[in-house]
Amino acid sequence: MNCSKQFLIAAVSCFTAWAGPLKVIATFPDLKWAAEQIGGAEVKVEALGRGNQDPHHVDAKPSFMLMLNKCDIFIQNGLEQEIGWVPPLLEGARNPKILKGAAGFIDASEGIRPKEIPLSADRGLGDVHPSGNPHYLIDPVCMLTVLENIHEGFVRNRPDKQAYFDENLKASKTDLLVKLIGMPLLKALGPDSVRALLFSDEFAAMIKENRLPAPVEGWIKKAQPFNGVTVICYHQSWKYFTDRFGMTIVGYLEPKPGIPPSPAHLLQMKNKILDESIPLIITDTYHNPKTGNKLAEMTKVKALWLPNLVGGVKEVTTYPGLFEYNLGKILDALSK
């Protein structure tokens, strides 16, 4: 009896060992980074899209189908960001484990409160995302939710490793919060309260009026000089970032989402920049910087070409690196 029980345990542990790390495929490098934080040695993660590739337009290549065919877990950005390419990939992957609703399917946007939900889903307004702006990965606070969603998915697939995933989740959230707001504020409030505060619209006012129980540090402090700065962006992809770091987007180089800039629209933007003395134009590295540069030449404002995703420039290889790089570049541009 005892012997057979021992044998069973041995067999199960053998099987688990044989199963090896979970094979995880994420749509973007930021999600890959998040999965690696939670999964650690228990996962092997690959990303389909690259950081300098338009996230709306990754090719649904058969080679990706093959990767998905062999994986245990699939993580997508969601909010219809990948609507043009993930559905055919999942269909072609022939892997019931990762179909929507199955244990291996993780939608990282679960629980994210989308910004800019259009009042009507009308293509006359451009290639709108009906569920709201899907470019939330560029907000570190949204990344906390992403880490939790991925944690939940990993636990669902490897319940025996829950303790390990729990520990990684706690550590990675703490690490990200320390980088974002600094240790003193995190210690004073605790991670859950800090999080709720960051999700509220009151945070900026509280910093300004010095109503916080401890001084703010980290990226938020680094970004204090941007507070109130107006900016023109190429696409909707910076909304979560500018909201987080206190900037205001006052115009887009795209006349409507997904529609390339027209000469008439650029003239309008040029006048706007001059009239309202807007200091900055931001283009993501998956769009051509040409338009932003041309406008900068005409108006003498700064045009930045910044990564919106991890890997958007070769210097940025981690998620925290994305903020170090972008905040540094914006500070540089504004101080000149």
Partner 1 sequence: MIMQYRILPFLCFLIFCFAISKGRAEALSISKMNPAIAAVGEFGASTSDDPALEHPHEILFHGGDLDLYASVDPYFKAELVIAFSDKEVDFEEAYLESMALPAGLKVRLGKFKTPFGKWNTVHGHALPVITMPLSWERLFGDGGLNESGVAISELVPFMPTYHEIIGLVLNGNNTTAFNGAKTRDLLYMGHLKNFFELGGYRTLEAGLSCARGRNNQTDDPALYSLIAGANLIFQWKHFMLPMERALTLWSEVYHSRRETADSSHAVTTHASTGFFVLGKLLFAKRWYATCLYDYSGDPLETGENFNSISAGIAFQPSEFSEFKLEYRRLTEDSHGINPINEFKAMAIFTIGAHGPHAF
Q: Point out which span in 90-98, 231-239, 242-250, 296-304 binds partner 1 (CB under 8 A).
A: 90-98
Q: Point out which span in 36-44, 57-65, 162-170, 219-227 binds partner 1 (CB under 8 A).
A: 57-65
- Of 148 and 225, CB closest to partner 1: 148
Asked if 71 and 103 touch (Cβ cutoff 8 Å), the reply is no
Q: Does 315 bind partner 1 (CB under 8 A)?
A: no
Indicate the Cα dihedral angle 209, 211, 216, 220, nearest 10°.
-50
Residue 190 Cβ vs partner 1, minimum distance, rounded to whole Å: 10
Q: Does 259 bind partner 1 (CB under 8 A)?
A: yes
Q: Which residues of 7-33 are buried (b: 16+ CB within 10 A; e: fewer)?
A: eeeeeeeeeeeeeeebbbbbbbbbbbb
d(CA 40, CA 21): 9
Q: Which residues of 291-318 are buried (b: 16+ CB within 10 A; e: fewer)?
A: bbebbbeebebbbbbbbbbbbbbeebee
- Of 168 and 283, CB closest to partner 1: 283
Q: Does 84 bind partner 1 (CB under 8 A)?
A: yes
Which residues, other chains included, contact 251 with Cβ-Cβ below 8 Å and sequence gap of 6+?
Answer: 232, 233, 269, 272, 278
- Of 115 and 222, CB closest to partner 1: 115
Q: Point out which span in 33-41, 110-118, 231-239, 265-273 binds partner 1 (CB under 8 A).
A: 110-118
Q: List residues near partner 1 by CB under 8 A.
A: 52-54, 57, 59-63, 65-66, 69, 80, 83-85, 87-88, 91, 94-96, 99, 101, 110-111, 113-114, 117, 123, 126-127, 131, 188-189, 193, 196-197, 199-200, 202, 211, 213, 258-260, 288
